[in-house]
Copies of this chain bind each other. A is one copy, B any other.
């Protein structure tokens, strides 16, 4: 199986002249609460084997020390696969672990502050819950924009109203920045989300709560390849 995945390499990314663009097309966001007791590292390993191209560690309930340990454990799996690890919210954890970037929401550290604290070549993604958020993130130089939520989702309870495919299309028309759609995405609606302008599909429960995360990742991967062909 050809994953058509460009390998991510932080050292190369930091030299602007040969910057490799990260592949956001199948973007897994973690939530240990959905793993039903299975170790997160094993689920991520399976998901990557199925075709996940980018992983975000998002564990709001973990203490800092435990989150740092989890980040390091994930990096041991992701580095050999050439898949970048992005840390939600915690710039300090990302720096200490040697992750590839950080994802910040509208209540997290402002993008400009994140850039001042982090090295060149770092991936910084920003959540947008509206067209105005997305335009601001694009102006600020976000590497990608997490469009959230596209559909209603059970895995986050503090989110805004769903933007829908129409909202995603409006953001696509307004900004050039890569868009990663999140919220209620699964194999049955994945193609429609991509056709509405998303560069990537972010999933949480569709993979982490699946009986067979590798198979579900491979299903999504196939849809992405067919839609982008």
Bound complex: CA A92 to CA B68 (Å): 14
Bound complex: CA A113 to CA B68 (Å): 10
Bound complex: CA A186 to CA B131 (Å): 52
- Pick from B64, B106, B107: contact of A89, CB under 8 Å: B64
Q: How many residues of A contact B (CB 8 A)?
A: 21
Q: Which residue of B lies closest to A106 (CB)?
A: B65
Bound complex: CA A16 to CA B113 (Å): 28
Which residues on B sit within 8 Å (CB–CB) of A107?
A: 63-66
Which residues on B sit within 8 Å (CB–CB) of A104?
A: 64
B96 pairs with A109, CB closer than 8 A? yes
B116 pairs with A64, CB closer than 8 A? no
Residue A41 is within 8 A (CB to CB) of chain B in the complex: no
Residue A42 is within 8 A (CB to CB) of chain B in the complex: no
Bound complex: CA A93 to CA B93 (Å): 12
Residue A110 is within 8 A (CB to CB) of chain B in the complex: yes
Which residues on B sit within 8 Å (CB–CB) of A64?
A: 89, 104, 107-109
Which residues on B sit within 8 Å (CB–CB) of A66?
A: 107
B65 pairs with A92, CB closer than 8 A? no
Residue A90 is within 8 A (CB to CB) of chain B in the complex: yes
Interface residues of A in 105-147 (CB under 8 A from B): 106-110, 113, 116-117
- Pick from B63, B113, B117: contact of A108, CB under 8 Å: B63
Residue A95 is within 8 A (CB to CB) of chain B in the complex: yes
Interface residues of A in 74-102 (CB under 8 A from B): 89-93, 95-96
- Pick from B93, B96, B109, B116: contact of A65, CB under 8 Å: B109
A154 to chain B minimum Cβ distance, whole angstroms, is: 22
Which residues on B sit within 8 Å (CB–CB) of A116?
A: 96
Which residues on B sit within 8 Å (CB–CB) of A63?
A: 107-108
Q: 9 A-B Cβ contacts within 8 A?
A: A64-B108, A65-B107, A65-B108, A68-B110, A92-B92, A92-B95, A92-B109, A96-B109, A96-B116
Other CB < 8 Å A-B pairs besides A63-B108, A65-B109, A93-B109, 5 of them?
Answer: A64-B107, A64-B108, A65-B106, A65-B108, A68-B110
